[in-house]
Amino acid sequence: MPEYDFDRRVAFVTGAGRGQGRSHAVAYAEHGADVVVTDVCGDVETSPYPLATPADLETTARRVEVAGGRALAIEMDVRAECEVEAAVEAALDEFGRIDVLANNAGIWNVTDLVAMDEQRWDDVVDTALRGAWLCAKHVGRHFVDRGTGGRIVSTASTAGLVGARGSGHYTAAKHGLVGLTKALALELAEYGVTANAVAPTGVDTPMIDGILESQGESALTTISDASGSMNVIDEQLVDLRDVTEAVLWLSSDAARSVTGVTLPVDAGMTAK
């Protein structure tokens, strides 16, 4: 992995209890950053699989510290503005600054749109899209007030670039996140802030494992349609470290001229 320099910088990572969020948080620390790790640390009623626990978040924090960074662990629901605002204030009290926002929180389930109830729609869309906006709003205010730039990198999905059966709410949220990224890039450019997103295909994480365990064959068909069977490179799921590499680059000075972009990490899926 290239030697990015995040020395004396602070990254704020949502959905950091495990999976991609944990991978990103630890990688930031490996390259010199201090890291605020946040997660809801509790189950969402409509999620068919268990979400990260307080113990998971503490494990992430310990791994950040082992990697050389200082860690601040905060239990936070990205759907609740009061919790997001309080977490950003706590991060600033602890570290004095935030330099990178990694919008990673998200949940998923497999449900056809015509069979979907309102709560299932709201939980997925509010976590992936409303949550990303709220975090960008409050961290973005800090970027504007400080006036020395910043980076926003959000986790979209190939479902934000193409359609996907069985997960219309997730597809709508991730398409919205791509649009939010473009709008943030335009609005914050004058303050030296870049806003980008990554769009992974299926990634080998606890979320995928949980979906497969809880929803079985229907989920397997959806994941196959949306990832492995459509990938140009012969792999079913991509390694989460490949996604982290893209996130690090977009967060770094090496990508200072890149903004408003959604970068697929998809083994060629969207090339078809």
The token duo for 47 is: 């999620």
The token duo for 180 is: 């939010």
Report the distance separating Cα 35 and Cα 51, nearest Å: 21
Burial (Cβ within 10 Å: 0-12, 13-18, ≥19) of residue 216: exposed
Report the distance separating Cα 150 and Cα 251, nearest Å: 8
> Is 170 assigned a catalytic role?
yes
Is residue 74 within 8 Å of 37, Cβ to Cβ? Answer: yes
Catalytic choice (4, 28, 49, 170): 170
Report the distance separating Cα 102 and Cα 118, nearest Å: 28
The catalytic residues are: 170
